[in-house]
Structure 1
Amino acid sequence: MQVRRIVTNIATDRPGEAKRFYGDVLGLDLLMDFGWIATYGSRQAAPVQISFAAEGGSGAPVPDLSIEVDDLGAARDRMAAAGFAVEYGPAEEPWGVRRFFVRDPFGRLVNILCHQRGSGTATGGTETA
């Protein structure tokens, strides 16, 4: 048996509100919409990962989601333009990422991150938080 993907499900009675944050701001494609469920993502292959944390690192709370982007400044600018306030950061973390936290329309704490050039990975794995 092999895990092929992991999908995050966020309970809400307003799935249509995901479009502005996940579609418009983050640029994810609407992959499925049945009215009661809307799935955003990309066709790009990505590693399968799930994290378990006692804290969010650097004393921050544990985020509900971590989303890696290629341009943190552009992501922050798009969040600000859409009215999503940064709750933490932007910060350069000692484990080799720059990141900031925002809340999505459903109150979920989202860690937006970008690996710094030349940064290594955590011992034995890939670091995304």
Structure 2
Amino acid sequence: MTISLQYSHITVTNPEESLAFYRDALGLDVLNDVESGGHHWITLGVAGREGTEIVLSDPYAGRSQSDGDAIQELVAKGVLTNVVFRTEDDLDGVFERVRATGAEVLQEPKDQPWGPRDCAFRDPSGNMVRILQSTAQPQNA
């Protein structure tokens, strides 16, 4: 049996505002854009490349008012979602492109003791977004 992650939801306060961050700053492609019942779901990924996708949606999309209120509060605190992206070869370039959008910088590019070099931002809703560049691992003999 083979199993893989298809997509993961990121709850945002304003899907359209967050779209600019994920599409324009990070360079993801819009794969699907659905509006229903006053709510908006935007699926992003890399066009033509199978792999994990993210879905941006508001706190009330498909949820009760009380559940949406609770999630909205967590999003506002910036404690709900942490998403990690990987770049193959240009962390510093990605960092500068994202910073140029005015995104809140949480951490400039830094070599981590556990292996990768990474940086961190907050998206427009306050979710933490980390971007890492894996360091070359020694080959097994």
Question: What is the aligned-residue identity percentage?
Answer: 31
Q: Displacement of 1:10 after TM fit?
A: 1.9
1:48-87 matched pairs, under 5 angstroms: 64-70=82-88, 71-87=90-106
Q: Displacement of 1:102 after TM fit?
A: 0.4
Q: Displacement of 1:93 after TM fit?
A: 1.0
1:30-109 matched pairs, under 5 angstroms: 30-35=30-35, 36-42=40-46, 43-46=48-51, 64-70=82-88, 71-109=90-128
Over 3 Å off, 4+ runs: none
Partner of 1:14: 14
- Higher normalized helix content (fraction of residues): 2
Q: Displacement of 1:13 after TM fit?
A: 4.5
Alpha-carbon distance between aligned partners in 1 of 2:15 and 2:32, rounded to the nearest angstrom: 12
Query: Size of the alignment, in residue pairs?
Result: 106
Structure 2 contact 85–131 (Cα < 8 Å) conserved: yes
Alpha-carbon distance between aligned partners in 1 of 2:138 and 2:116, rounded to the nearest angstrom: 10
- Residue segments in structure 1 that go unaligned for 5+ positions in a row: 48-60, 122-129
Structure 1 contact 17–105 (Cα < 8 Å) conserved: yes
SS where residue 76 of structure 1 aligns? helix
One of 130, 135, 141 as aligned partner of 1:111: 130
> Which structure's CA Rg is the greater one?
2
Task: Classify 1:9/1:96 alpha carbon distance in 2 versus 1 (closer, same or farther; 3 Å).
Answer: same
What TM-score comes out, normalization by structure 2 length? 0.65
- Higher normalized strand content (fraction of residues): 2
Alpha-carbon distance between aligned partners in 2 of 1:67 and 1:76, rounded to the nearest angstrom: 12
Alpha-carbon distance between aligned partners in 1 of 2:50 and 2:42, rounded to the nearest angstrom: 20
Alpha-carbon distance between aligned partners in 2 of 1:119 and 1:46, rounded to the nearest angstrom: 22
